[in-house]
Amino acid sequence: MLIVKKFGGTSVANKERIYNVAKRCIEDYQKGNDVVVVLSAMGKYTDELITMAQDINENPPKREMDMLFTIGEQMSVALMAMAMNKLGVPAISLNAFQVAMHSTSVYGNARIKRIDCERIRNELEQRKIVLVTGFQGINKYGDYTTLGRGGSDTTAVALAAALHADACEIYTDVDGVYTADPRRVKNARKLDTVTYDEMLELATLGAGVLHNRSVELAKKYGVQLVVRSSLNTNEGTIVKEGAKMEKMIVSGVAADADAARVAVIGLKDEPGVAFKLFNALAKHNINIDMILQSVGRKGTKDISFTCSDLDADEAEQIISDTLPFESIDVNKNVSKVSIVGAGMQSNAGVAAKMFEALYDANINIRMISTSEIRVTVLIDDINTDRAMNAIHDKFDLGDN
Ligand code: ADP
Ligand code: ASP
Ligand code: MG
User: Per-residue confidence of the chain (400 residues) as pLDDT tens digits?
Assistant: 999 999 999 999 999 999 999 999 999 999 999 999 999 999 999 999 999 999 999 989 999 999 999 999 999 999 999 999 999 999 999 999 999 999 999 999 999 999 999 999 999 999 999 999 999 999 999 999 999 999 999 999 999 999 999 999 999 999 999 999 999 999 999 999 999 999 999 999 999 999 999 999 999 999 999 999 999 999 999 999 986 555 678 889 999 999 999 999 999 999 999 999 999 999 998 999 999 999 988 899 999 999 999 899 999 999 999 999 999 999 999 999 999 988 787 777 899 999 999 999 999 999 999 988 899 999 999 999 999 999 999 999 987 5
Same-domain check for residues 169 and 257: no
Same-domain check for residues 45 and 159: yes
Residue 102 within a domain: yes
Same-domain check for residues 169 and 259: no
Same-domain check for residues 259 and 385: yes
pLDDT of residue 247: 66
Same-domain check for residues 157 and 273: no
Range list of β-strands (E), the chain: 2-7, 34-39, 91-94, 101-103, 112-115, 129-133, 136-138, 144-146, 167-172, 193-195, 225-229, 237-240, 252-268, 291-293, 300-307, 327-340, 367-371, 374-380
Q: Which of 115, 148, 173 is the last residue of a domain?
A: 173
Residue 196 within a domain: no
Q: Which residue CA neighbors atom 9 of ligand 2 most closely?
A: 149
Using DSSP, state whether 113 is helix, strand or coil: strand
Quick one: which ligand is closest to 148's CA? 2
Question: Cα dist. 292→156, 318, 366, 368 in Å?
Answer: 37, 19, 10, 9
Q: Which residue CA neighbors atom 5 of ligand 2 most closely?
A: 150
Q: Are 73 and 40 in contact (CB under 8 A)?
A: yes
Residue 207 within a domain: no
Cα separation of 311 and 316, whole Å?
Answer: 9
Same-domain check for residues 144 and 43: yes
Our answer on whether the CB atom of 41 is closer than 6 Å to any ligand 2 atom is yes
Residue 234 within a domain: no
- Angle at the Cα of 164 (from 158 to 165), degrees rounded to 5? 85
Cα separation of 208 and 202, whole Å?
Answer: 8
**Domain count for the chain:** 2
DSSP string, 36-54: EEEEPPSTTHHHHHHHHHH
Our answer on whether the CB atom of 43 is closer than 6 Å to any ligand 2 atom is no
Q: Which of 173, 191, 217 is the last residue of a domain?
A: 173
Q: Which residue CA neighbors atom 10 of ligand 1 most closely?
A: 209
Residue 149 within a domain: yes
Residue 37 within a domain: yes
Residue 354 maps to which CATH number?
Answer: 3.30.2130.10
Q: Which of 148, 173, 198 is the last residue of a domain?
A: 173
Residue 132 maps to which CATH number?
Answer: 3.40.1160.10
Angle at which helix 384-394 crosses helix 350-360, to 10 degrees, equals 130
pLDDT of residue 243: 64
Residue 257 within a domain: yes
Residue 192 within a domain: no
Among 46, 181, 214, say which to mutate for ligand 1: greatest number of ligand atoms within 8 Å of CB: 181
Same-domain check for residues 17 and 117: yes
Ligand 2, atom nearest to 41 Cα: 1
What domain range includes position 50?
2-173
Ligand 2, atom nearest to 151 Cα: 8
Our answer on whether the CB atom of 207 is closer than 6 Å to any ligand 1 atom is yes
What backbone phi and psi angles, to 5 degrees, belong to 100? -95, 145
